[in-house]
């Protein structure tokens, strides 16, 4: 299983608070955890050539993990188109936190993906609402994060195939925080937590969810989908 | 549109706090509101003959609303079977609050319908998560109830067809509070709020949801479903 | 209820077989039927200015019906963007037949919307799989079309919220022919039949489905969705 | 992974046509295939004590496969209740063919599970409609069965979480043939083919689907679900 963690990797370079939590970047913290789970993990970042997402890399990627925030617009449409085609052809995609506004997520959802938000360091509690879903494996009733950014409903997404987590926020909001989708042959998981100024990706439960999701989103590529003009199979 | 509001109608007779809020019973408060919405509304209660649910009444009922709590076991299986058959044949069903544990709801869901709970008079806020669903019509972002019983996840129900409301509770829980289902030709809506010791059914927004749900759950009976042995339509 | 029927309106002008069936264009046949159902119906076509979809028209359109086939690429992106925003804000959209490959449908679905096809004038039978769905109201077990183009699975669409019709084709294929979605506040219905060389839109059952779908897809615009930065509702 | 194949095992003893195809019973053909897939497989049949479904056996069963037809009514309610509780607690369940009318399937679905049928040895073609679902792994576009019993829509089941297969029948019907559900922590798959007078379970593709389904339906039991009275997690 080949995983690639893509990170915008800008906050970490210019914001000391973020750099303190993720000195090597969010992508490397996630990659390291997944390697311990026996996955083969590469990374790619916005400021690399082709944002690091070369054909060579994408061709062998089973699951792509995406973290972006302030530079969604700088991601080239041509790269997004390549990622999009790969998802339809079976590459898994895990979209984290502010990736809800990434070009790739909006293109796959067909909605604005807009939401309410508040950056106030309040408590988030993620309740498991589909306890036997593979993504919730090993998670007990809920995950508690002492401090997170708030995301609140209405979250403008298509009705998820499954809602694995629902978040409670101290300030009074709720949020569909763990949502699964299929697009073409590709499996997609949106997972809410992970604001850059909090140590969310150092939380073992959060990382277990991401590892579970990577395993779930992986699918053997299988046979090629057949479209187009076709002869009748039965006489009439 | 013929509506019947069924109520266990026990708390109101023995608990003075409840009697003060619902002197004529929860059913009559709901019925009165719906009549103002131009629906024809009858009522039925547990201690009547056949729990008030005679064939004559059921045969002309388009939507049945159900409130029960402490006497689920006293409802006769034969009556439940009749209600069940009518739901499959197109009668709408709205199950309120503690009705989650009613025989009819469990039979239609196929699960335990169990949940967490706490009776502590805390704030509940119901967020709209499907803003263009007919059941949410006229409801702005959320409904706030100063005091309610808490119901928390995991709520053991089948994945709803649509989740119209998600609840936030002051004590830290979330809940899928407005859930739609189809069983046979019948439309079902589960709506969480309505503990007997709080004036929830005097809240205009809550009642608007119930009226919306009654309209949504109504369906013209249409043609009879055809099952069983059948001749081929095409030669082969 | 204000309906607009949009039609590419090219086949009718250059193909005599099509012109014989739809001398005034597919859009006018559909529009005329809906007017008899007491809807206010306008039309718009590709070769008009702004494809006929002016702001003035769109602003008062409750439901847009879309038929296109050979000229999807000629529809300007700026017009599609306007239609897309209106759907998210609550305008209903009914996509007919070869509209599965229209820019607007692909943008809202987030998939390729590809499928198998065969133009061989074979029988199609559309089976009702959700008999109490408002879109199936008044339709008995199935609709039979003597001659239609075949569309076959795999149809690359997101898992529908409801599948109202499944098609059987004489040549051996099946197809999810009536699919509902919600995007933002907009309700979307894809309805398969309607190849231009067959008199499908002169079939009363097919037209009943389209009229039902228009009623279902209509939603009162309701309150504006609220997104963005927000203050806490509860103290913590 | 411990699998148990339950079979009514009556037809095989009294009908020579069936006995010729399944001399040791349907259960043993299925069990043998799954053993080659490295699963630990036991069997149980109606006429054994407790229908072969002792507590000892059920306690170690990860996935139960169910084939029944003419003797659904002879299955004791107490045994069904035990199976039901285990499904809610995470035991997978695969219901085959005429098992659609079994007590356990109807109890878990909450509907009549009725359908149309015809025993005329016609061709069935099962089209894959969710190509990256684990249950469809290794199956190309469709599975063709030269002769099968026909099951036709309307099939009175709750809207499936995923429809993995849709069937086409030569006589003109379609059917939702591969349907997934979750009930409590248990995963359920209904798979249509398998009339006793045809060699369907000797078909390698059909058996691959059943093996895939067994793997998919397996879930680590995980932590116990917590229900009931609960203390607040946050102060208010």
The alpha-carbon gap from B106 to the nearest alpha carbon of chain C, in Å, equals 22
**Mean per-residue pLDDT of chain A:** 97
Q: Which residues of C touch B86 (CB under 8 A)?
A: none
Mean pLDDT within A170-175: 98
pLDDT category, B9, cuts 50, 70, 90?
Answer: very high
**pLDDT exceeds 80 at position C44:** yes
The reply to whether A177 touches chain B by the CB within 8 Å rule is no
The reply to whether A231 touches chain D by the CB within 8 Å rule is no
B71 three-class SS: coil
Mean pLDDT within C210-216: 98
Under a CB-based contact definition with an 8 Å cutoff, are residues A234 and C170 in contact? Answer: yes
Q: Which residues of D touch A134 (CB under 8 A)?
A: 219
Asked if D154 and B225 come within 8 Å (Cβ–Cβ), the reply is: yes
Q: Scanning every residue of chain C, which has its alpha carbon at the shortest distance from the alpha carbon of A107? A: C110
Asked if C220 and B137 come within 8 Å (Cβ–Cβ), the reply is: yes
Q: Which residues of B touch D226 (CB under 8 A)?
A: 116, 154
Residue among D109, D111, D117, D181 with most chain B CBs within 10 A, to mutate = D111
Asked if A170 and C232 come within 8 Å (Cβ–Cβ), the reply is: yes
The reply to whether D173 touches chain C by the CB within 8 Å rule is yes
Which one has a higher pLDDT value, B84 or A236?
A: B84
Task: Label residues D13-52 b or e (16+ Cβ within 10 Å = b).
Answer: eeeeebeebbeebbbbbbbebbeebebebebbbbeeeebb
The reply to whether C146 touches chain A by the CB within 8 Å rule is no
Q: Which residues of D touch C141 (CB under 8 A)?
A: 154
Q: Which residues of B touch A129 (CB under 8 A)?
A: 153-155, 176
Nearest 5°: phi and psi at D24? -100, 10
Name the neighbours of B, counting chains with at least 3 Cβ pairs within 8 A.
A, C, D
Using CB atoms, pick whichever of B123, B161, B219 lies closest to residue C132.
B219
Q: Scanning every residue of chain D, which has its alpha carbon at the shortest distance from the alpha carbon of C128? A: D154
The reply to whether A220 touches chain D by the CB within 8 Å rule is yes
The reply to whether D230 touches chain A by the CB within 8 Å rule is no
**Strand B92-96 to B186-191 pairing:** parallel
Q: Scanning every residue of chain B, which has its alpha carbon at the shortest distance from the alpha carbon of D161? A: B159
DSSP A126-145: EEES-TTSGGGTT--SEEEE
- Supply the pLDDT for residue B42: 98
**pLDDT exceeds 90 at position D102:** yes
pLDDT in tens, B102-157: 999 999 999 999 999 999 999 999 999 999 999 999 998 999 999 999 999 999 99
Burial of B55 (C-beta count, 10 Å sphere; 0-12/13-18/19+): exposed
Under a CB-based contact definition with an 8 Å cutoff, are residues B156 and B117 in contact? Answer: no
Beta-carbon contacts of D200 under 8 Å, excluding residues fewer than 6 positions away, are D145, D148, D193, D194, D206
The reply to whether D204 touches chain B by the CB within 8 Å rule is no
**pLDDT exceeds 90 at position D228:** yes
pLDDT category, D94, cuts 50, 70, 90?
Answer: very high
Asked if C166 and D176 come within 8 Å (Cβ–Cβ), the reply is: yes
Asked if C156 and A118 come within 8 Å (Cβ–Cβ), the reply is: no
Half-sphere exposure of residue A3: CA atoms within 13 angstroms, side-chain side? 28
Name the neighbours of D, counting chains with at least 3 Cβ pairs within 8 A.
A, B, C
Using CB atoms, pick whichever of A117, A150, A230 lies closest to residue C152.
A230
The reply to whether C132 touches chain B by the CB within 8 Å rule is yes
**pLDDT exceeds 80 at position D221:** no
The reply to whether B123 touches chain C by the CB within 8 Å rule is yes
Q: Which residues of C touch A230 (CB under 8 A)?
A: 116-118, 150, 152, 173
Asked if B182 and C130 come within 8 Å (Cβ–Cβ), the reply is: yes
C103 three-class SS: helix
Mean pLDDT within B224-229: 93
Share of chain D above pLDDT 70, in %: 100
Mean pLDDT within C18-34: 98
Token pair listed for D177: 């043939």
pLDDT category, B224, cuts 50, 70, 90?
Answer: confident
**pLDDT exceeds 90 at position B230:** yes
Asked if C234 and B131 come within 8 Å (Cβ–Cβ), the reply is: no
The alpha-carbon gap from C84 to the nearest alpha carbon of chain A, in Å, equals 9
Using CB atoms, pick whichever of C152, C154, C168 lies closest to residue D174.
C168
Rounded to the nearest 10 degrees, what angle do helices C204-217 and C26-36 cross at?
70
Using CB atoms, pick whichever of A166, A169, A236 lies closest to residue B153.
A166
**pLDDT exceeds 80 at position A169:** yes
pLDDT category, D236, cuts 50, 70, 90?
Answer: confident
Beta bridge partners of D4: D42, D64
Length in residues, chain A:
236
- Supply the pLDDT for residue C186: 97
**Mean per-residue pLDDT of chain B:** 97
Q: Name residue, tokens 């000391």.
A: A16
pLDDT in tens, C99-138: 999 999 999 999 999 999 999 999 999 999 999 999 999 9
pLDDT in tens, C145-162: 999 999 999 999 999 999
Asked if C110 and A109 come within 8 Å (Cβ–Cβ), the reply is: yes
- Supply the pLDDT for residue C223: 76
pLDDT in tens, A205-217: 999 999 999 999 9
Asked if C174 and D168 come within 8 Å (Cβ–Cβ), the reply is: yes
Distance CA D174, CA D188 (A): 21
The reply to whether A111 touches chain C by the CB within 8 Å rule is yes
Q: How many CB pairs under 8 A join B and C?
A: 51
Q: Scanning every residue of chain B, which has its alpha carbon at the shortest distance from the alpha carbon of C125? A: B233
pLDDT category, D223, cuts 50, 70, 90?
Answer: confident
pLDDT category, D85, cuts 50, 70, 90?
Answer: very high
Residue among B105, B108, B180, B230 with most chain D CBs within 10 A, to mutate = B230
Residue among A158, A190, A224 with most chain C CBs within 10 A, to mutate = A158
Using CB atoms, pick whichever of A88, A111, A150 lies closest to residue C183.
A111
The reply to whether B166 touches chain A by the CB within 8 Å rule is yes
Nearest 5°: phi and psi at D156? -85, 75
pLDDT category, D103, cuts 50, 70, 90?
Answer: very high
pLDDT category, D222, cuts 50, 70, 90?
Answer: confident
pLDDT category, A224, cuts 50, 70, 90?
Answer: confident
- Supply the pLDDT for residue A153: 98
The reply to whether C173 touches chain D by the CB within 8 Å rule is yes
**Maximal C-alpha separation, chain A:** 72
Residue among C158, C170, C180, C195 with most chain A CBs within 10 A, to mutate = C158
- Supply the pLDDT for residue B223: 76
Asked if D181 and B158 come within 8 Å (Cβ–Cβ), the reply is: yes
pLDDT category, A222, cuts 50, 70, 90?
Answer: confident
Task: Label residues C6-27 b or e (16+ Cβ within 10 Å = b).
Answer: bbbbbbbeeeeebeebbeebbb
Distance CA B195, CA D148 (A): 53
DSSP assigned state of C196? T
The reply to whether C159 touches chain A by the CB within 8 Å rule is yes
pLDDT in tens, D128-158: 999 999 999 999 899 999 999 999 999 999 9
pLDDT category, B222, cuts 50, 70, 90?
Answer: confident
Distances (CA, A) of D144 to B118, B185, C229, D139, D170: 55, 32, 55, 11, 11
**pLDDT exceeds 90 at position A104:** yes
Q: Which residues of D touch B114 (CB under 8 A)?
A: 225, 227-228
Nearest 5°: phi and psi at D183? -135, 115
ipTM: 0.96
**pLDDT exceeds 90 at position B236:** no
Q: Which residues of C touch A111 (CB under 8 A)?
A: 88, 183-184
Q: How many CB pairs under 8 A join A and B?
A: 56
Distance CA A92, CA A217 (A): 5
Domains within chain D, CATH numbers bracketed: 2-113+177-217 (3.40.50.880)
**pLDDT exceeds 90 at position A236:** no
D43 three-class SS: strand
Q: What is the pTM of this model?
A: 0.97
- Supply the pLDDT for residue D53: 98
Asked if D127 and C159 come within 8 Å (Cβ–Cβ), the reply is: no
Distance CA D146, CA D140 (A): 17
Asked if A153 and B128 come within 8 Å (Cβ–Cβ), the reply is: yes
Length in residues, chain C:
236
Interface list for D 39-98 with C (CB within 8 A): none
- Supply the pLDDT for residue D14: 96
Length in residues, chain D:
236
**pLDDT exceeds 90 at position A221:** no
End-to-end CA distance of chain D: 46
**pLDDT exceeds 80 at position C221:** no
């Amino acid at each position: 299983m080949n995983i690639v963690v893509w990170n915008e990797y800008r906050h970490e370079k210019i914001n000391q608070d973020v750099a303190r939590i993720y000195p090597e970047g969010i992508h490397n913290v996630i990659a390291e955890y997944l390697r311990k789970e026996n996955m083969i993990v590469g990374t790619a970042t916005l400021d690399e050539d082709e944002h690091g997402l070369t054909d060579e890399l994408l061709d062998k990627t089973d699951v792509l993990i995406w973290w972006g925030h302030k530079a969604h617009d700088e991601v080239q449409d041509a790269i997004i188109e390549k990622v999009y085609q790969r998802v339809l052809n079976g590459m898994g995609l895990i979209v984290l936190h502010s990736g809800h506004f990434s070009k790739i997520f909006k293109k796959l959802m067909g909605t604005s993906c807009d939401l309410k938000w508040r950056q106030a360091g309040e408590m988030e509690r993620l309740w498991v609402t589909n306890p036997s879903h593979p993504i919730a494996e090993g998670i007990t009733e809920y995950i508690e994060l002492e401090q997170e950014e708030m995301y609140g409903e209405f979250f403008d997404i298509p009705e998820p195939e499954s809602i694995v987590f629902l978040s409670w926020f101290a300030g009074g909001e709720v949020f569909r925080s763990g949502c699964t989708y299929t697009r073409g042959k590709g499996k997609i998981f949106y997972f809410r937590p992970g604001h850059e100024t909090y140590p969310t990706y150092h939380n073992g439960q959060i990382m277990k969810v991401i590892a579970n999701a990577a395993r779930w989103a992986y699918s053997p590529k299988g046979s090629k989908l057949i479209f187009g003009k076709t002869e009748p199979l039965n006489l009439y």
